[in-house]
Structure 1
Amino acid sequence: MSISVVRIDDRVIHGQTMTRWTKARPVDGILVVGDNIAHDKLRRKVLKAAANDLKVGIYTVAEAGDKIKKGIESKKKFFLISDSPKTFAQMADMGIDFGKVLNVGPMNTRPGTKVLGRTVAIDQDDYNAFEDIAKHGIDIQFQLLPDDEIKPWSTMKKKYDSMS
């Protein structure tokens, strides 16, 4: 498989992505999926600029299946990223194969969220999306940086449930 990391990060492409993750898991290009991102011309420009010399493709969920399949079949290595677990839940429900591990990075505080840890805050919609993703047999791993300890969805779920 030529997808070296599949990740949720609410900032998508930024300094840590470029200096830490692309060094820990070498990549030749970045595939960004998200309807909100794909339809935002300014955000598209900012993300492409943040990627420095890496090629960036930004796609809607509807376009993702074909683009991810081409990425997997390619000899190049790709970083697949979105800003929301809902996007990955949609793709899993559509039968799009993006691998068996989903890495979760920053999901910063927003209205209506519960803070589960350093830079991780989720709401009920995020929770439902993670549950859906897990039902597809995908291992959800919360990890801010490549050297950080991985926390599984089961741990984060228990914490969320205890706050209800």
Structure 2
Amino acid sequence: MTITLARVDDRVIHGQTMTRWTKARSVDGILVVGDSIAHNKLRRRVLKAAANDLKVGIYTVDEAPEKIKQGIESKKNFFLISDSPQTFSQLVDKNVDFGKALNVGPMNTRPDTKVLGNTVAIDQADYDAFQNINDHDIEIQFQLLPDDSIRSWETLKNKYDAMD
């Protein structure tokens, strides 16, 4: 069927994903992409438990293109989630089609980040990744919850640039 939500969320699968986003967008399963996630057995178990009854596949960036393609060709709807915009930037560079929009949820404060708003803190690597995604004509939508207003990459990019 399709990817009904492509999302960056530093918590990946959690309460808001399961109670709010699954009500707003059709979903039969969740595809999680990220090398550090895929190689962490404990985190894999926690994410699968957090997804309740939804099937979860957790893949490395190298495995993802084929798994995403299989998901799109299936009769099911999927969320595609990673904890990092760099992962989506890598997918774009691999010509992976996950839709024309990337939704960005919580990216909380980490060392060497600039706080751009409630739950959004990015560093230079995040900035470069978002710019690469944007340069591939994918709309970047910063939105914590489905009924929140969407902030654009252009708006947050200008804020980041003004902080230099």
SS of the residue 1:61 aligns to: coil
- In 1, Cα distance between the equivalents of 2:50 and 2:60? 20
Specify the alignment match of 1:7 in structure 2: 7
- Residue identity matched to 1:12: V
- In 1, Cα distance between the equivalents of 2:56 and 2:127? 29
1:64 Cα shift?
Answer: 0.5
Specify the alignment match of 1:51 in structure 2: 51
- In 2, Cα distance between the equivalents of 1:71 and 1:82? 16
Specify the alignment match of 2:32 in structure 1: 32
- In 2, Cα distance between the equivalents of 1:67 and 1:92? 15
- In 2, Cα distance between the equivalents of 1:57 and 1:77? 13
- Structure 1 unaligned segments of length 5 or more: list them: none
Deviation track 1:102-142 (CA, whole Å, cap 9, x = no partner) reads 00000000000000011000000000000011111110000
- In 2, Cα distance between the equivalents of 1:163 and 1:81? 29
Specify the alignment match of 2:77 in structure 1: 77
- Residue identity matched to 1:78: F
- In 1, Cα distance between the equivalents of 2:16 and 2:88? 21
- In 2, Cα distance between the equivalents of 1:60 and 1:132? 20
SS of the residue 1:7 aligns to: strand
1:73 Cα shift?
Answer: 1.0
- In 1, Cα distance between the equivalents of 2:26 and 2:77? 7
- Residue identity matched to 1:4: T
- Structure 2 unaligned segments of length 5 or more: list them: none
What is the correspondence of 1:14-163 to structure 2 with a 5 Å cutoff? Answer: 14-163=14-163
Using structure 2 for the length normalisation, give the TM-score.
Answer: 0.99
Using structure 1 for the length normalisation, give the TM-score.
Answer: 0.99
SS of the residue 2:4 aligns to: strand
1:43 Cα shift?
Answer: 0.2
Deviation track 1:55-94 (CA, whole Å, cap 9, x = no partner) reads 0000000000001111111111100000000000001011
1:2 Cα shift?
Answer: 1.2
1:17 Cα shift?
Answer: 0.3
